[in-house]
A = this chain, B = another copy of it.
């Protein structure tokens, strides 16, 4: 695992800055087409939830995949930002007292702490809706079939058979609803649903925007799934190492909740080997695109090799 060469971090922060501007524009106080009014408290809380920094990895993936397959960059920026809204909604709801009960997110109070629980529920609800609104808007793509395909893909990645279902399995894995031992296959399914599906769709969305041939779309989807799984294992490894090194910090959270990770189930060495295998899989999926896929390849190397 080498350090990421310079191109990826620069492209990632460029994408983040560009998406941040768009998100701020969407979450302003001025009423837009088809709206009756924008309640001030709701808008302020939505901005708190969304405009809090963050890597913006998902929009970056959409924008890079679109660029690689010849898609329009303005549309990819919008679609990527829509996926980020969806991701932010999931964080707001996951932080709620009834869920993970977190007070802080990226060093700032979570939405239900900065505002209140009812507002946080509504913020998440409205962010999800806005994500679909943006994708269905003609400004995202001139072709209706493409817009509908983006909506369908995001819904499948994030709904009961994807992200939300994964969160349900995650709560069950804490033992809330009786003793559950998901095992290796169960943890893989949980992670593929909870985080993998949306990461994979972030990449695939770029190919949908370009109406890329099925082979390219499939390759990017394979890359996205491998990246998502690798990212999760790297997270688990970091979590394990951090909790071993410094027990005083708020790490090792999954272990605290009694949730088994792949690192627990496979052991650290086998987990590292699996991350390496997933990285190879991600890079192999990119091979047909040649050197133009260099930044996405760097992103995968970075995901596996990162130290924070």
Residues of A participating in the B interface, judged by any CB pair closer than 8 Å: 31-39, 41-43, 46, 89, 93, 96, 98-99, 116-119, 121-122, 124-126, 128-130, 132-133, 135-138, 143-149, 151-162, 164-169, 171-172, 176-177, 189, 192-193, 197
Contact = CB atoms under 8 A, between A and B. Distances in A.
A36 B159 CA distance: 10
A144 B133 contact: no
A39 B121 contact: no
Given A146-B144, A148-B136, A164 B125 contact: yes
Main secondary structure, interface of A, reads helix
Given A99-B118, A121-B96, A39 B172 contact: yes
Nearest to A115: B177
Contacts of A128: 125, 128-129
Nearest to A26: B160
8 contacts: A34-B156, A36-B165, A37-B189, A39-B165, A129-B164, A130-B160, A145-B145, A147-B148
B152 A35 contact: no
Contacts of A189: 36-37
A164 B152 CA distance: 22
Given A133-B152, A144-B146, A152-B137, A46 B160 contact: yes
A83 B94 CA distance: 25
B161 A132 contact: no
B125 A124 contact: yes
B118 A98 contact: yes
B168 A151 contact: no
Given A35-B161, A130-B160, A144-B145, A152 B167 contact: no
A122 B164 contact: yes
B164 A42 contact: yes
Nearest 5 pairs of A and B residues by beta carbon: A35-B161, A144-B145, A34-B156, A133-B155, A129-B159
Contacts of A118: 96, 98-99, 171, 176
Contacts of A46: 160
Q: Which has the most chain B C-beta neighbours within 10 Å: A93, A129, A154? A: A129
A42 B168 contact: yes
A181 to B, nearest CB: 16
A41 B147 contact: no
Contacts of A42: 160, 164-165, 168
Given A99-B121, A118-B171, 10 more contacts: A34-B153, A36-B161, A36-B193, A37-B161, A38-B165, A128-B129, A132-B154, A135-B151, A144-B149, A145-B147
A193 to B, nearest CB: 5
A35 B148 contact: no
A147 to B, nearest CB: 4
Contacts of A162: 34-36
Contacts of A177: 41
A98 B117 contact: yes
